[in-house]
């Protein structure tokens, strides 16, 4: 949807006011955290994107506070890391497995690694959207957005 994120935001901002307010507005292919906040501020109601599952297949785990928005579990830095993918995450993956174990699964080409990160990434997105809904309800969306970009 455009050459870059700025153009995408411009197109969404231009078109959203012309859409019916009595119907949900859906934006396809948007999976980045900043893109979701941009869409919500412009009236988008629902999103879907392959981003969380696609990056999981390649070892990308969504995390708060990362410049890229995710960590690459295949990197050697995680070979002996006993931390969960994301501190404080309540998903099964983070409650049960370490970064080192998931790193090992990817190096051994075990499909379980992809599955575990996929579970985490979907949980991450559900948490994000629940927090956004709360921010809309309490009129604290700006504070919610700031929290999602700060490292834990």
Overall pTM surpassing 0.85 (yes/no): yes
Phi-psi region of 65 (alpha: psi -120 to 50; beta: other; left: phi over 0): left
Residue-wise pLDDT tens digits, 53-83: 999 999 999 998 776 789 999 999 999 999 9
Cα–Cα dist 94/72, whole Å: 15
Can you give the pLDDT of all 152 residues of the chain as single tens digits? 456 778 888 888 888 888 888 898 888 888 888 889 999 999 898 888 899 999 999 999 999 877 678 999 999 999 999 999 999 999 999 999 999 999 999 999 999 999 999 999 999 999 999 999 999 999 999 999 998 887 55
Smallest Cα–Cα separation from 118: which of 30, 71, 68, 59? 59
């Amino acid at each position: 949807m455009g050459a870059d994120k700025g153009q995408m935001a411009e197109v969404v901002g231009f078109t959203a006011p012309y859409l019916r307010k009595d119907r949900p507005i859906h934006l396809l292919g948007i999976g980045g955290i900043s893109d979701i906040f941009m869409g919500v501020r412009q009236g988008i109601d629902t999103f879907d994107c392959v981003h969380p599952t696609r990056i999981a297949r390649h070892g990308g785990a969504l995390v708060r506070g990362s410049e890229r928005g995710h960590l690459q579990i295949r990197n050697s830095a995680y070979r002996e890391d006993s931390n969960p993918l994301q501190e404080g995450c309540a998903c099964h993956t983070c409650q049960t497995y370490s970064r080192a174990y998931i790193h090992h699964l990817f190096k051994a080409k075990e499909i379980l690694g992809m599955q575990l990160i996929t579970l985490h990434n979907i949980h991450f997105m559900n948490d994000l959207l629940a927090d956004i809904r709360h921010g809309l309800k309490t009129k604290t969306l700006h504070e919610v957005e700031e929290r999602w970009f700060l490292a834990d």
